[in-house]
Structure 1
Amino acid sequence: MKPSINIPTTSLQDYLSTCSELCVGNHPLKHIEKLVSRTPFYAYDRQLIINRVLQLTNTLPKEISLHYAIKANPYPSLVQLMAAQVSGFDVASKKEMLLAIQTGMPAEKISFAGPGKTAEDIEAAIIAGVTLHVESSGEIAKVKLAANQLKLKANIAIRVNPKFELKSSGMKMSGGAKPFGIDEEQIPQILIDLPLEQINLRGFHIFAGSQNLNADAIISAQQQTFALAEHLVELTKQITTVKIDYLNIGGGFGVPYFANEQALDVGAIADNLQALINQYKTLVTGLDLILELGRYLVAEAGIYVCKVVDKKVSRGTNYLVCDGGLHHHLANSGNFGQVIRKNYPVVIGNKLNHNERELEQVNIVGPLCTPLDILADKIMLPKASLGDYIVVFQSGAYGASASPKDFLSQPQVSEVLL
């Protein structure tokens, strides 16, 4: 066993200058392969996740409750770890809700979002006591019916589709016509019609977008979010007898995946949040003020690892063929929202200390019978051998669970938290 390596405070890429073989949780790749019995696998570094959460909570205002969006990575061991690090969970399915509850997280700290919730989803959420983020008048009607049948009161927050959008966002979730949330101009009538005998209105969820590296854009969206929230809370007072105790301001924090991308300036966002809290002191007093993040907390703490199983040259192009690919890591293949495919950070995990003169340009592909199965395109790497480990960084979020794992009936991918 090689000497242990200090855990970095940011991402697994920091290991590049410290060892010849990449390690996760102080375990080299060859040992991790033996632990999980095969490649391909995902490996997540628990200490990096803890460090990221601590760094963030120490930066954010004390009034902010940090919630983890389980959809980013629902690996059960990772979710259990998160339960001890964050103040609550956001879930997007009944299965995620059951996972969240079984960590011991209090039900009032769990929210259930997403359009198209089934009657079964809604009944389960009411029984569990979690907060449903309702996304349409039709969904409110379903909640009323389920609460009546169960003879239980449902906890809800109204997800609002604001008129503004989160500029520079990888995925825009607000502004214009959207399947998410209720248009802000419809909220007065929604409040008038709200069946308060069956429903406990806790507050509002205003989520504008995700994967954003532009601090100014996030700051602008948060300023508009607080202004809208103040208006909605005042409107609620005028129309109902409800006292709001819940405001989820969404998240949107991105991580750098591609060349020339810069890490998000969280300090500037935190300063702006503190200024907003001071400005809207009357609004936030007594509120559970929630910042909901997924990708930002886990993406940089995970890697995807597969093995070179063949090498070939086709009309002057060098190919490395691996035992893993898009069926395990759809986002890295470029088929999960990229308009123009770009390479994630990729290395040969057992050849980190290499000589620059030994580099060669290669295309790295997977085992699938499709030209879409790309791990890296025209990338400079040390000369590879059969059995070398291909490592894709920034793979802790939207990896295994966001990929077509049964495509072409290939072997399943393993996951491990170390």
Structure 2
Amino acid sequence: MADAPDLAAALIAENFSRDAGGVLQVGGLPLTDLAEKFGTPLFVYDAATMRRTYRALCAAVAGFAEVDFSVKANPNPAVIRVFREEGAGAEIASGAEFEAALKAGVAPEKILFAGPGKGTADLDRVVAGGIGEIHLENREEMVRVAAAAERHGVTVRVALRINPGATAQGGAMRMGGKPSPFGFDEEAMDAAIDAVEAMPRLRLVGLHLFAGTQGLKAETLLGQWAYGLGLAARIAQRTGRALETIDLGGGLGIPYFSGEAALDLGAIRAGLPDLIATLRADPRLAGARVVLEPGRYLAGPAGLYVARVLAVKDSRGSRFVITDGGMHHHLAASGNLGQIVKRDFPLAAGVEGPEAPRAATAVVGPLCTPLDMLARAAPLPPLAEGDLVAVLQSGAYGLTASPTGFLSHPTPAEVLVEGGRAEMIRARG
């Protein structure tokens, strides 16, 4: 995967295909037909890719952890349902995501609620709905959860989210070892444990650790998980009880840019025996449910964002392809969702022969801002009005992570392909 065309080609070969005429296929259906039927812009998700990815990760961590789906990555109930059918629980970050998970058929006791700013209304909804666990991130939230439990006459299972020390940090977006709004700092963990233990309506059952995101190196993830087991042992020692849940977060990454390689699940598997031995050797941890809750890793590779070309122009030596899709639907692809140095996601033409000449192409959207740029120099074949462009790795942090109201364009449809059928799971507009 030395350069962008190779990355795009590798991702298409792994998750999609092209027919003899060079038409991109999703689950055996021509992308051109999907665009004609459902209109553009369009998000298309391949359920078979989601299932294959989920099963591969479960097999890699078997005997150590179970795998849940982080709903924030793609909260469409039809997407959540795919993972629920595979056996996943759900990790949510709002009351609306709780409703989406329930709509997808996830049992409330298999839902975990994280996030640093849980409001009273959301807490009342999930407590009344029998949520499996709430992950506490600050003292005020601790009080709000206890009050909700009191109002509903129940005892709520809770875990502490811990912001770990510097030795546990890792991933492209580091979320540990520095000041953070997320969780209790590790050095304040004992005091937080004591505060929860003093609240009779709260039952401290676990740990939540999330040290980084978009991790592509197995050794980084394995190190974070080992650190998490150490924190879990400290919580169990402080409470004098065995832990029931050890949530080691998500953080598993996918390749977006040239030079990035996919996470090596074989290396993950090879590094687990020591972690499994740690669990089995400690009776306070041996019976705990260890859970990973990735979102991007599971849903991202299965999605395409599809836009239609409206115009092609040359400006002072640069080629611009203007499409009907842009940052208002896919902020991440524009580079405006957390990127410091803006780099291009892998892009592909909807129809492209194997020997098509490619040239650096800027792909822009219809918005009146220079920020609306899906690619700055993507290697693409010659394109004309009416052609299709697809942004790969678009199954996560797409539509709902974007400023859909900006300039008041209609939202795109979302379509799920499975078993040779295409189902509209969110209507256009």
What is the TM-score when the length of structure 2 is the normalising length? 0.90
Q: Identify if the C-alpha distance between structure 1 residues 279 and 409 changes in structure 2 by more than 3 Å, giving closer, same or farther.
A: same
Partner Cα separation in structure 1 for residue 92 and residue 123 of structure 2: 13
Quick check: 2:76–2:100 contact (8 Å CA) kept in 1? no
Partner Cα separation in structure 1 for residue 83 and residue 15 of structure 2: 22
1:375 and 2:371 correspond: no
Partner Cα separation in structure 1 for residue 71 and residue 114 of structure 2: 11
1:26-175 matches, within 5 Å, as 26-36=28-38, 38-130=39-131, 131-164=133-166, 166-175=168-177
Q: Which residue of 1 aligns with 2:421?
A: none
Quick check: 1:19–1:353 contact (8 Å CA) kept in 2? no
Partner Cα separation in structure 1 for residue 73 and residue 200 of structure 2: 35
Alpha-carbon deviation of 1:287?
0.8
SS at match of 2:112: strand
1:295 and 2:296 correspond: yes
Structure 1, unpaired ranges of 5+: 1-7
Q: Give deviations 1:268-300, integer Å, cap 9, x for gaps.
A: 222323321112313432111111111001111
Letter matched to residue 62 of structure 1: G
* Correspondence for 2:194 among 186, 189, 192: 192
Quick check: 2:233–2:285 contact (8 Å CA) kept in 1? no
Higher mean C-alpha deviation, range 285-294 or range 143-152: 143-152
Higher mean C-alpha deviation, range 366-375 or range 378-387: 378-387
Q: Which residue of 2 aligns with 1:279?
A: 278
Q: Give deviations 1:193-244, integer Å, cap 9, x for gaps.
A: 324421122211111111011222112212211122112211121xxxx442
1:246 and 2:248 correspond: no
Letter matched to residue 57 of structure 1: C
1:216 and 2:219 correspond: yes
Q: Identify if the C-alpha distance between structure 1 residues 9 and 375 changes in structure 2 by more than 3 Å, giving closer, same or farther.
A: closer
SS at match of 1:204: strand
Quick check: 1:165–1:173 contact (8 Å CA) kept in 2? no
Letter matched to residue 236 of structure 1: T
Q: Identify if the C-alpha distance between structure 1 residues 33 and 12 changes in structure 2 by more than 3 Å, giving closer, same or farther.
A: farther
Q: How many residues align?
A: 404
Q: Identify if the C-alpha distance between structure 1 residues 172 and 417 changes in structure 2 by more than 3 Å, giving closer, same or farther.
A: same
1:233-272 matches, within 5 Å, as 233-237=236-240, 242-272=241-271
Q: Identify if the C-alpha distance between structure 1 residues 256 and 31 changes in structure 2 by more than 3 Å, giving closer, same or farther.
A: same
Q: Identify if the C-alpha distance between structure 1 residues 83 and 207 changes in structure 2 by more than 3 Å, giving closer, same or farther.
A: same
Q: Which residue of 1 aligns with 2:422?
A: none
Partner Cα separation in structure 1 for residue 170 and residue 332 of structure 2: 19
Q: Identify if the C-alpha distance between structure 1 residues 251 and 363 changes in structure 2 by more than 3 Å, giving closer, same or farther.
A: same
Partner Cα separation in structure 1 for residue 412 and residue 325 of structure 2: 8
Quick check: 1:40–1:413 contact (8 Å CA) kept in 2? yes
Partner Cα separation in structure 1 for residue 57 and residue 208 of structure 2: 21
Q: Which residue of 2 aligns with 1:4?
A: none
Letter matched to residue 212 of structure 1: G
- Aligned-pair identity (%): 35
Higher mean C-alpha deviation, range 133-142 or range 58-67: 58-67
Q: Which residue of 1 aligns with 2:7?
A: none
Partner Cα separation in structure 2 for residue 374 and residue 166 of structure 1: 35
Alpha-carbon deviation of 1:368?
0.6
Quick check: 1:363–1:377 contact (8 Å CA) kept in 2? yes
Letter matched to residue 162 of structure 2: V
Quick check: 1:70–1:79 contact (8 Å CA) kept in 2? yes
Quick check: 1:68–1:86 contact (8 Å CA) kept in 2? no
SS at match of 1:32: helix
Alpha-carbon deviation of 1:77?
0.9
Alpha-carbon deviation of 1:362?
2.0
Quick check: 2:360–2:377 contact (8 Å CA) kept in 1? yes
Q: Which residue of 2 aligns with 1:360?
A: 359
Quick check: 1:204–1:246 contact (8 Å CA) kept in 2? yes
1:230 and 2:233 correspond: yes
Letter matched to residue 394 of structure 2: S
Partner Cα separation in structure 2 for residue 259 and residue 9 of structure 1: 12
Higher mean C-alpha deviation, range 277-286 or range 155-164: 277-286
1:411 and 2:414 correspond: no
What is the TM-score when the length of structure 1 is the normalising length? 0.92
Higher mean C-alpha deviation, range 245-254 or range 220-229: 220-229
SS at match of 1:284: coil
Structure 2, unpaired ranges of 5+: 1-9, 418-429
Quick check: 1:362–1:379 contact (8 Å CA) kept in 2? yes
Quick check: 1:12–1:302 contact (8 Å CA) kept in 2? no
Quick check: 1:209–1:252 contact (8 Å CA) kept in 2? yes
Q: Which residue of 2 aligns with 1:305?
A: 306
Partner Cα separation in structure 2 for residue 113 and residue 62 of structure 1: 25
SS at match of 1:123: helix
Q: Identify if the C-alpha distance between structure 1 residues 11 and 292 changes in structure 2 by more than 3 Å, giving closer, same or farther.
A: farther
Quick check: 2:16–2:25 contact (8 Å CA) kept in 1? no
Alpha-carbon deviation of 1:316?
2.0
1:203 and 2:212 correspond: no
**Alignment RMSD:** 1.9
SS at match of 1:280: helix
Q: Identify if the C-alpha distance between structure 1 residues 19 and 91 changes in structure 2 by more than 3 Å, giving closer, same or farther.
A: farther
Higher mean C-alpha deviation, range 120-129 or range 274-283: 274-283
SS at match of 1:293: coil
